[in-house]
Amino acid sequence: SDNSKNRNIIEELERLKNEVLTDPLTKLGNRRLAQMKIETRMQELTTYDIPFGVLFMDIDHFKQFNDNYSHEVGDQVLVMVATTISNQLRGMDIGARWGGEEFIIVLGNVDHEALGIIAERVRFFIEKSWLSVDGNNLGVTVSIGGTLAQKGESLEELVKRADLLM
C-alpha cells in the first residue's frame, strides 16, 4: 500500500540522516551535526536569550596509544571516551566527534557554574574509565575547555575560544 511505501521512505530518510550526521566509529554525532546544533542554539540565544555553552576536548597523548599499541587500540580509546561522553549528557545536550581525537559537547541552557560542573564530571568519568589490553589496564585523560556562547559571534570564534581555554 501507499502508506507502507511512505513509511519505508521516511524510515530510509531517517536512516540516511542519521548516517550523514553520525561518526561511524564512535556513534556520536559528527562535526556536521555539532555545527548544525551550534547554529540552532545561536539562533535561540539571539532570539530568546537562551544561553548555551560548548565544551571542547582533546584526548591527552593520543598518538601514544596508536604508536605503542595499534590503531585498533586507538579506536577503542575513542569509542570508550565517546561512550563516557554519551552517558554524561542531559537530554538537551549533544556530543560529537569534532575530528581525530577531538570531541565537542554542545550544552543547552547552561550558566558558567553548570558548564564547569558538567566539564568536571565528564573529565572525571573519562579518567576513571579504562581498557584492558594485553593484561594492562589503559587509562586515558582529556583536556577540556569550556565557554558560554556570546551573541553575534561566529561558530568558528566560539569553538576557537573553547579550544584556547583547554
The pLDDT assigned to 15 comes to 86
Query: Which residue type is seen at 32?
Result: R
The contacts of residue 83 (CB under 8 Å, 6+ apart) are: 26
CA distances from 3 to 13, 14, 15, 161 (A): 15, 16, 18, 49
Q: Are 122 and 85 in contact (CB under 8 A)?
A: yes
Catalytic machinery residues: 101
Q: What is the pTM of this model?
A: 0.91
Residues contacting 56, CB < 8 A, separation 6+:
98, 102, 103, 104, 144, 145, 146, 159, 162, 163, 165, 166
Confidence of residue 49 (pLDDT cuts 50, 70, 90): very high
The SS3 of residue 92 is coil
Query: pLDDT band for position 148 (50/70/90)?
Result: very high
- Tell whether the model's pLDDT for residue 1 goes beyond 80: no
Is it the case that residue 156 has pLDDT exceeding 90? yes
